[in-house]
Structure 1
Amino acid sequence: MFDHQRRSLTIGSLCLSILLIGYSLPAYSTEKGSIRVATVLFPPYVTLNSNQEVSGQAVDKAKQLFKRINLTPIFIPLPWKRAIQSVENQEADVILPIFRTATRDRLFRFTTRPFMELDVVVFKVKGKQLSSVDGTLSFLKGLRISRIRDVSTSTEFDKMVADGEITIMHADSIPQQMNQLLQGRVDLAVGISGTHLPFSGEGKPEIIPIPISTRSAFIATSFSAQHAGLFEQIESALLSMEQQVQGE
């Protein structure tokens, strides 16, 4: 009976070891010629076309980048938290575009060069009248403003928030943010230029022509991922694309 138990335990331990070995294998392999890219629907940068295929400005740029290192990107559109988890669990190899925050710096390895530069702007409901828009952010004082949670906008704006000059209502997604604006729950919204376009039309969001700042978006992967030089290749491709733009 004890011998049978020992044999069962040995077989069970062997099976568990095999499972653990399989689980720890890197998700990325140059032999596959592809790379799994987690992303979030973020029109017009990441969206779905009429064929329900992932497309958009960020997708086009990512395709150009990975072509330079002979990889075919497989885009995986997910809700934000699930996209983050997919990289942490190595169900995806990288995530893009992603903004850096202090919290995310502890979770991910970011490219040193930005993947994209995006303008941060102020949105208002079309037709809404504002007083004293003088080219500075002083017109924001005393207003209720929607902002995506955990996303910094600019040093000046963040200081106004810290000083209590602006009341912030957080949103967890762009649709939620735009709904807050359109329903009159806030006076204005702060976000990335272009993200209002799917909501455009009569009485819909429009940009106030006063840019707040420019935000750098990056490519990131998990610290625990074993990518055999992948990030070095991505960095090289980003540099090459940057030099090409500068030379045009």
Structure 2
Amino acid sequence: MKRLVTVVTGGGRGIGAAICRRLAHDGHDVVVGYVNDTAAAEAVADEVLEAGARGVTVRLDTSVEADVERLFATAEERLGPVTGLVNNAGVSGPLGRLADTDTADLRRVVEVNLLGTLLCSRRAAQLMAPRRSGVIVNVSSAAATLGSPGDFVHYAATKAAVDTLTVGLAKELGPDGIRVNAVAPGMIDTEMHAEMGDPGRARRAAATIPLRRAGTAEEIAAAVAWLMSPEASYTTGAVLRVSGGR
């Protein structure tokens, strides 16, 4: 039986780590892509092994074409033909109004969230199309439709682009047997908020969410896992909102 081999970018922590763990539990061998924290990525790979799957770590910057090539080459050499991709790597930059945001921060957000997703998706399509099968799941954000004024409209703009990519690429790759979908998380309680300079952000937002709480990384991972599963075999071009009603 052919093994499922899934590449997860930004897999070393937060939502990405939860996705790696869940996919391993569902029988996927997992490539844990990460950018900085080697120890955290190795810990996730160990959890993948404990779940009975194979795990490999690859350090890369998704906005660098050569790194993306190396990511997929390592996946195929170590684990076998890539059957799935989760484009989870993303950055938000500091919270604040667009007028106060540095150009370097704008550029980095666009390069990782959009260009990185494009580069990884392109490479996955090149490998999957001749095999006539594959699944790509993009991690978008509810910010794509909310706009995130005062927080990070530039981040929201890149996620809206990811939603458009999801729809267009699903139509482009459908005849090749490749499904492309996205999950759009709402306010999720991860370390991302502390990195943006506001560790209490998720807790404070609870009052504005219909379910009256922030979500968990595991809840996003469950949605990703469903979209990657045979149960979603007729689902492509969808953006699945997992946001507590917001």
TM-score normalized by the length of structure 2: 0.33
Q: Higher relative CO (CA 8 A, sep ≥ 6), structure 1 or 2?
A: 1
TM-score normalized by the length of structure 1: 0.33
Question: Which structure shows the bigger proportion of residues in helix conformation?
Answer: 2
Question: Which structure shows the bigger proportion of residues in strand conformation?
Answer: 1
